[in-house]
Structure 1
Amino acid sequence: MSAPRFGRITAGPAAPAGGEALSELLAGGGARVVRIASRGQVDPEGAWYDQAEDEFVLLLRGAARLGFADGTERSLAPGDWAVIPAHCRHRVAWTDPAGETLWFAVHLPPA
């Protein structure tokens, strides 16, 4: 039997300027829980995530904008969340370069 684990979502690797730092907090049964810290991170134009699993993201701190293959973008502020269905092509269009943006992401196993 495993022992309980505890942590603080704000404690973790800092994002490098123009990049991001990922920390997997939990994985099992095909699901993953990930902490993502970004600072000025932008995916290149035309580069898309096309994931096999549904993803839930919650913006905890900072500011970000997600772009979608249909040309739409959605701004996120602390407390905003999104469910991105499997194979919904998306990208990080912008994260605040002046401060760290902190995300909480849950990747669900493919149905």
Structure 2
Amino acid sequence: MSPLPRFGRIADGPPAPAGGGESFATLLAAGGARVERIASLAQADPPGAWYDQPGDEFVLLLQGAARLGFAGGEERALAPGDWVVIPAGCRHRVAWTDPARETLWLAVHLPPIAGRGAIADQ
């Protein structure tokens, strides 16, 4: 018997905590990669707290509004439809998400590639 497809709706995942923060749901994990749904509300990582991941990450903002901060002081605002590829080793943080409306993200985390620290320019 062949495997059956799975279906879902991105809006049907767990909500962000009512008082603010984030909820995470893994939609698919295989071969060291992970596809994740993230719901945020009034989320901001503490100043000086950084994500520094061993693999590249693709992030698509689906709903709401957010700002990502990067080491060196740059901040970038994101609106629905905006995406970013964050290379392995690029220190980043969630600087702000909308406190009035849930922000939905789709994140694809790729596994580290031996001998390569970041994505190639395309």
**Is TM more than 0.5 here?**
yes
- Structure 2 gap ranges (5+): 114-122
1:1-111 to structure 2, matched below 5 A, reads 1-16=2-17, 17-111=19-113
Kindly indicate whether the alpha-carbon contact (under 8 Å) linking 1:63 and 1:75 is maintained by their aligned counterparts in 2: yes
Displaced runs of 4 or more, over 3 A: none
Letter in 2 for 1:12: G
Letter in 2 for 1:45: P
Normalising by structure 1, we get a TM-score of 0.98
What is the rounded CA distance, in whole Å, between the counterparts of 1:35 and 1:25 in structure 2? 7
CA drift at 1:39? 0.2
Kindly indicate whether the alpha-carbon contact (under 8 Å) linking 1:59 and 1:102 is maintained by their aligned counterparts in 2: yes
- Structure 1 gap ranges (5+): none
Kindly indicate whether the alpha-carbon contact (under 8 Å) linking 1:18 and 1:42 is maintained by their aligned counterparts in 2: no
Normalising by structure 2, we get a TM-score of 0.89
What is the rounded CA distance, in whole Å, between the counterparts of 1:7 and 1:18 in structure 2? 25
| CA RMSD, Structure 1 to Structure 2 (Å) | 0.7
